[in-house]
Every structure is written in structure tokens, then in C-alpha cells.
Amino acid sequence: MKPSRDFHKSRAVAWLFLLATLTADASEQVKLGPPLILPLPLEGVRGISLAMGAGGEIIELAGPTPRLLIWNEVEEFTGEFQPSEDRNVVLVDIADDAGFGFLAVDPLIPIIHSFGRRGEARPGLPLISKTVLEPISVCSGENGTIYLLNQKDGDIWRVDRDGRATPLLIPSQFKLRSSNSQLVRQPNRSLIWLLNGDRIISASYGGQIKRIMEIQQSSSVDHAVTGDLLWVVGDGLMVLSSESGEVVGRWDSEAMKAWGIITPVSIAGQSTRLAILCEDGKVALFHVDLP
């Protein structure tokens, strides 16, 4: 006796239901275990920005007097440095320099500051441009090209290693307005741009916008990239697939508090590690469990 058409239809529906269930389950398999709170000297510290290097180092830009706090899990190294003897320097963002050290910017001085992997100061890079630039966010590509966000208009600029700066992406041309933005890079792929805390924009290194993703995250302050995952931190923490824009993990403010994370101000990622910086200077380091 042959199975009826209804039997085949029911079996097909069952397989579709199972496939949808497996897909939904897979999308929620990004997990975070309890974090390690880094042993940093935090007396009188206010957290500003955070970066992670390929060599295992985590570097915190702290204030009010500019300081660099460094921790390296691999080398078991902890250090504290004053990035500049000039008290007029007001650093606002720090980023990994493609594995060769770190870059930092000050919107009041058109120079890109450079530091080694252990925080040692290197000669800065004066910006050469007809426009007076006020950099508020910085990142670098694998080929050494530097990208920065200009505070005055929210434009993204490309900076060669000789300091020559040229405009790369102008938001107004795409009917985008920027009042509060942060810039990071996705290795070998694109620039990732958090615009006004409610949209993530992916753009090519050539300045072409590839995707705009709306995000539902209250009071978003910063974002980071680990592989194909985009992390956004604010009142809570969420993670999206960079391929589909689908939310694949979310933790609310109560979960953050349970981890000891209160008032996050910055986030950084490298491979399967994720770190969150709090306003009080505390840094929580997570291992990301992938599917």
C-alpha cells in the first residue's frame, strides 16, 4: 500500500518545521561564560576607550589624566603608561594598528598618536589636509591604511602612512546624518560604522556603502567585530551576524549587572575574545563560544 498524498504532505511539513527549529536554535548558540575581571590599577580611573591586539594584549585608554593601562594574558604583563607629557592632549579613541601596536586620536590636535604593543610612545603622524580635521575615531586596515571619523561633519577619511588625508565617505551624500559615531574594521572585508547608536553601516575600503542595518539596542555606545559577528553594547549587549544582520545573541542590563558590568563605555574584540570597558575603568574579558 502506497503512502497517501496527505502522508507525504505531513512529512514535508514536519521536515520544514524541524529545519526551522534547527535554524532558530543555531542562531542562538553564541554564548558568553562568566567574564574575567582584569587586574588593572583603577584608582582614580575613568574608562574612555578599549582596544585588543593580535598578540594577546588589551589596552585601556583612561582618564581624566590620559593613561594607558595594558594587560597581556600571554606574556602575563600588566603596565601603566602616560601617553603624553602634554596635559593638553585629550585622547578619545584607541584602536589596534593591524597587529603592529595601537593608534589613538585627539579631536583638538590633527595628529594620529602611535604606541607599541606595550604602550611605549612612538612618533605621531601629523595629518596633511586642506581641511582642519578633528578625529574622534580611528582604525587601520590590513595594508596599513588608516581610517578616521571627523568630528565636525561625521565624514570618514582615508589616511596614508605619510599623513596625507583624503575624504573617503561623506554621509550626507547618502542622506545620512551623523552626530555620534564610532568606526571599526572587519578584517579583510570592510569598515563597520556605528551611526548615532541605532544603525550599523558596512562600507568597502573604497568608500561604497554595502549594507545598513537597523539595531534595537537602547543607548548603544560602541561596537566591535569578532570574525563574522558584530557586537553592540549599551544598556545591554547584542550580537548580530554580519552576513544576514540577524540577531544571534542578546543580554539585557540585568545580565550585564550580574557580570559586574555597569555603565559600559567601550567594547573590543579579537578572534574569540571580547572585552567590555566600564566607566569606572573595569574591564570584563569574555570567551565567545561559537556554534
Query: Hey, what's the cell of 67?
Result: 593613561
Domain assignment present for residue 288? The answer is yes
- Looking at per-residue pLDDT, the higher value among 242 and 36 belongs to 36
Amino acid occupying residue 152: K
Confidence grade of residue 261 (pLDDT, cut at 50, 70, 90): very high
Domain carrying residue 239:
220-291
Closest CA to 268 of 244, 240, 234, 233: 233
CB contact at 8 A, 148 and 140: no
> Which CATH number do you get for residue 254?
2.40.10.480
Q: Domain for residue 233, yes or no?
A: yes
CB 277 within 8 A of CB 285: no
* Residue 4, domain member (yes or no): no
Q: Is residue 232 part of a domain?
A: yes
Q: Which residue has the higher pLDDT, 9 or 68?
A: 68
Closest-CA residue to 63 (of 94, 101, 95, 39): 94
Q: Considering the chain, what is the average pLDDT of its residues?
A: 82
In the chain, % of residues over pLDDT 70: 84
Is residue 263 one of the residues assigned to a domain?
yes
Alpha helices per DSSP H over 5-161 = 5-27
pLDDT at position 160 over 70: yes
Asked, for residue 96, whether it belongs to a domain, the answer is no
Phi-psi region of 208 (alpha: psi -120 to 50; beta: other; left: phi over 0): beta
Cell numbers at 107, concatenated: 579631536
Q: What's the domain count of the chain?
A: 1
Q: What is the pLDDT of residue 24?
A: 31
